């Protein structure tokens, strides 16, 4: 974080300088100072919309990760499910979520539900996929030992396969934290009356480009916070 | 608990590939048998058959001398310690019971831990133990299973000479009375531990005379070194 500060400040200064020297219109590219001003002037509105989006992305991450974990465990538990469901799971990813978002909005309305659904759809797959792969990759020697010991299937999953798969789950969660905001904002773009995605569309439509950038800054900050928090959790999972 | 002997007759194949030629194998009950041979002759296949881990077909069959199934009467100790890195030493020892959904006896686990020289280390995780200590822990886990038949798949081959020697002595003492089948490619180990020594080569199975005296034999005694040289000569000649 502190190491990223000097280059970031340098980039902002350069940006400011370029905008002032070239005189590019502010509705095309506002200077950082104008974005800062927009951030400050609209702080109450940005906070309100930001809170909505943050709740959506957090809920999507939690629900999507939970769904991914359950799917991974289910498919690792049952060979029949693995054979039948895994191809469907992979095939489901060939449908771009973007095309599903309008449908979800139609079904679930303009509120929280459709955003949660889009978010969950984006988030669950990387978690399920990484976790399942790890669950299926338990070292063969350990499985042999467990077999000689007369292990029950459920105890084997709980005592050996699941703990051994924690690093896989951790990498799935890290990806999910990056995807969750995309899912939430995607839902807001398709149809919403609140949230940062909605605010960005609105600001863009009325040529309030500094406000749009300000919303983007808030969104980046929220995403950063979410990925950092998830990263800490993932590091805990990876620790032996 | 009267331990059964082990027998295997015929040749083994898996699908179209032959694993080992026709042979007649016997491991006496309550006796330490070393199956000595170079890599790739099917030693481990024989061990895995008795462990119930190989799906190879054996033409003449194999099993326990008392005719009862071997499942549930066998413990396995492999080349690597196979300890769970996230679990404490105590949880690792009790793994078998936990996997079967049984209640492990912690007092017995602690006693075994002390017997292998790891008293007071029950809260440590494998990462906090040395290579030798980890293999001691694996031995304690094998003993905790309390099975009449113990299969050893070169469990000491990755240890340094001194630690290996200590582990051999410890295992010989603690596994007395059980039917032990040890797979090894080390003539010195066979000479030191085997009450019966069987040499498996591409030519087939042959018995070699085991040195005098009960195992673990003194690894530095001239008679033992001579026996070791004899075994090595037979390995090289095959």
| A219-235 pLDDT, tens digit each | 999 999 999 999 999 99
- Interface of chain B against chain A, CB under 8 Å? 48, 51-53, 71-72, 74-76, 78, 80, 82, 84-87, 95-96, 98-101, 125, 127, 145
Instruction: Please give, rounded to a whole number of angstroms, the shortest distance from the CA of A141 to a CA of chain B.
Output: 7
Confirm whether A35 is domain-assigned.
no
Confirm whether A144 is domain-assigned.
yes
Would the pLDDT of A66 be above 80? Answer: yes
Please state, in angstroms and rounded to a whole number, the distance separating the CA atoms of residues B235 and B75: 28
Q: What local confidence, expressed as pLDDT, does residue B29 receive? A: 94
pLDDT, tens only, B9-46: 999 988 888 888 888 999 999 999 999 998 888 899 99
Comparing alpha-carbon positions, the chain A residue that sits nearest to B53 is A144
Average pLDDT, chain B: 92
Q: Can you tell me whether residue B155 is helix, strand or coil?
A: coil
What length is written for chain B? 238
Please state at what angle helix A43-77 crosses helix A112-135, rounded to 10 degrees: 40
ipTM value > 0.90: yes
Q: What local confidence, expressed as pLDDT, does residue A2 receive? A: 74
Average pLDDT, chain A: 93
Q: How sure is the predictor about B1, in pLDDT bands with cuts at 50, 70 and 90? A: low
Burial state string for B11-30 with b = 16 or more CB within 10 A and e = fewer than 16: bbeeeeeebbeebebebebe
Tokens coding A55: 């709740």
Would the pLDDT of A44 be above 90? Answer: yes
Task: Dump the DSSP string for B22-85.
Answer: EEEEEE-TT-EEEEE--TTSSHHHHHHHHHT----EETT-EEETTSS--TTSEEEE-SS----T
Tokens coding A187: 């839902």
Spell out which residues of chain B touch residue A152, defining contact as CB-CB under 8 Å: 99-101
Q: Which of A118, A16, A100, A119 is nearest to A60 (CA)?
A: A119
Would the pLDDT of B144 be above 90? Answer: yes
Q: What local confidence, expressed as pLDDT, does residue A191 receive? A: 85
The CATH number covering residue A153 comes to 1.10.3720.10
Residues 6+ apart with CB under 8 A from B113: B89, B90, B93, B119, B121, B122, B137, B140
Who among A142, A155, A240 is closest to B82 (CB)? Answer: A142
Q: What local confidence, expressed as pLDDT, does residue B237 receive? A: 85
Comparing alpha-carbon positions, the chain A residue that sits nearest to B126 is A240
DSSP class of A158: I
> How many separate helices (H) and strands (E) can be counted in chain A?
12, 0
Helices (H), B175-221: 187-193
Comparing alpha-carbon positions, the chain B residue that sits nearest to A237 is B86
Spell out which residues of chain B touch residue A240, defining contact as CB-CB under 8 Å: 85-86, 125, 127
Q: What local confidence, expressed as pLDDT, does residue A201 receive? A: 92
Spell out which residues of chain A touch residue B82, defining contact as CB-CB under 8 Å: 141-142, 145
Confirm whether A8 is domain-assigned.
no
Confirm whether A212 is domain-assigned.
yes
Task: Quote the radius of gyration of chain A (alpha carbons, Å).
Answer: 22
pLDDT, tens only, B66-96: 999 999 999 999 989 999 999 999 999 999 9
Q: Which of residues 125-164 of A touch B (CB under 8 A)?
A: 141-142, 144-152, 155-156, 159-160, 163-164
Q: In what order do the strands lie in the sheet with B74-77?
A: B74-77, B149-153, B179-184, B32-36, B196-201, B204-208
Confirm whether A3 is domain-assigned.
no
Who among B80, B86, B100 is closest to A240 (CB)? Answer: B86
> Structurally, how many domains does chain A consist of?
1
Stretch B136-161: mean pLDDT, rounded? 93
Please state, in angstroms and rounded to a whole number, the distance separating the CA atoms of residues B70 and B46: 14
Would the pLDDT of B7 be above 80? Answer: yes
Comparing alpha-carbon positions, the chain A residue that sits nearest to B142 is A149
Please state, in angstroms and rounded to a whole number, the distance separating the CA atoms of residues B25 and B206: 9
Q: Which of A202, A192, A196 is nearest to A181 (CA)?
A: A196
Confirm whether A126 is domain-assigned.
yes
Confirm whether A26 is domain-assigned.
no
Instruction: Please give, rounded to a whole number of angstroms, the shortest distance from the CA of B111 to a CA of chain A.
Output: 20
Suggest the residue from A142, A148, A169, A238 to mutate for an interface test with chain B (most B CBs closer than 10 A).
Answer: A148
């Amino acid at each position: 974080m502190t190491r990223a500060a000097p280059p970031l400040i340098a980039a902002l200064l350069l940006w400011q300088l370029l905008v002032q020297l070239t005189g590019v219109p502010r509705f095309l590219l506002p200077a950082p100072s104008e974005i800062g001003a927009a951030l400050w002037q609209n702080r109450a509105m940005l906070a309100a919309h930001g809170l909505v989006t943050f709740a959506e992305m957090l809920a999507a991450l939690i629900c999507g990760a939970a769904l991914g974990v359950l799917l991974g465990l289910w498919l690792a538990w049952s060979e029949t499910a693995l054979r039948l469901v895994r191809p469907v799971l992979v095939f489901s990813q060939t449908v771009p979520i973007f095309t599903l978002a309008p449908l979800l909005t139609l079904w679930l309305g303009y509120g929280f539900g459709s955003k949660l659904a889009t978010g969950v759809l984006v988030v669950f797959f990387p978690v399920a996929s990484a976790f399942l792969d790890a669950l299926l990759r338990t070292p063969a020697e350990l499985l042999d030992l467990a077999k000689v010991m007369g292990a029950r299937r459920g105890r084997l999953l709980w005592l050996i396969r699941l703990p051994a798969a924690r690093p896989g789950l951790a990498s799935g969660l890290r990806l999910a934290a990056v995807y969750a905001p995309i899912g939430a904002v995607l839902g807001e773009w398709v149809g919403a009356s609140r949230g940062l995605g909605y605010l960005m569309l609105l600001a863009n439509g009325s040529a309030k480009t500094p406000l749009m950038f300000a919303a983007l800054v808030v969104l980046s900050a929220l995403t950063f916070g979410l990925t950092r928090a998830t990263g800490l959790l993932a590091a805990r999972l990876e620790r032996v | 608990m009267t331990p059964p002997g082990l027998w295997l007759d015929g040749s083994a194949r898996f699908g179209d590939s032959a694993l080992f030629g026709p042979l007649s194998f016997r491991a006496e009950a309550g006796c330490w048998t070393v199956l000595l041979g170079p890599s790739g002759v099917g030693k481990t296949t024989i061990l895995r058959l008795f462990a119930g881990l190989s799906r190879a077909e054996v033409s003449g069959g194999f099993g326990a001398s008392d005719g009862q199934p071997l499942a549930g009467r066998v413990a396995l100790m492999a080349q690597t310690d196979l300890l769970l890195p996230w679990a404490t030493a105590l949880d690792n020892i009790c793994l078998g019971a936990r996997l079967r959904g049984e209640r492990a006896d912690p007092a017995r686990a602690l006693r075994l831990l002390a017997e292998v020289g790891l008293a007071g280390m029950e809260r440590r995780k494998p990462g906090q133990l040395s290579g030798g200590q980890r293999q001691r822990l694996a031995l304690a886990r094998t003993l905790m299973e309390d099975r009449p038949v113990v299969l050893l798949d070169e469990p000491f081959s990755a240890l340094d000479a001194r630690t290996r020697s200590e582990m051999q002595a410890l295992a010989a003492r603690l596994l007395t009375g059980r039917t032990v089948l040890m797979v090894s490619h080390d003539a010195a180990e066979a000479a030191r531990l085997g009450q019966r020594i069987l040499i498996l080569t591409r030519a087939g199975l042959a018995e070699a005379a085991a040195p005098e005296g009960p195992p673990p034999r003194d690894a530095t005694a001239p008679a033992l070194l001579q026996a070791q040289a004899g075994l090595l000569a037979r390995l090289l000649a095959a």
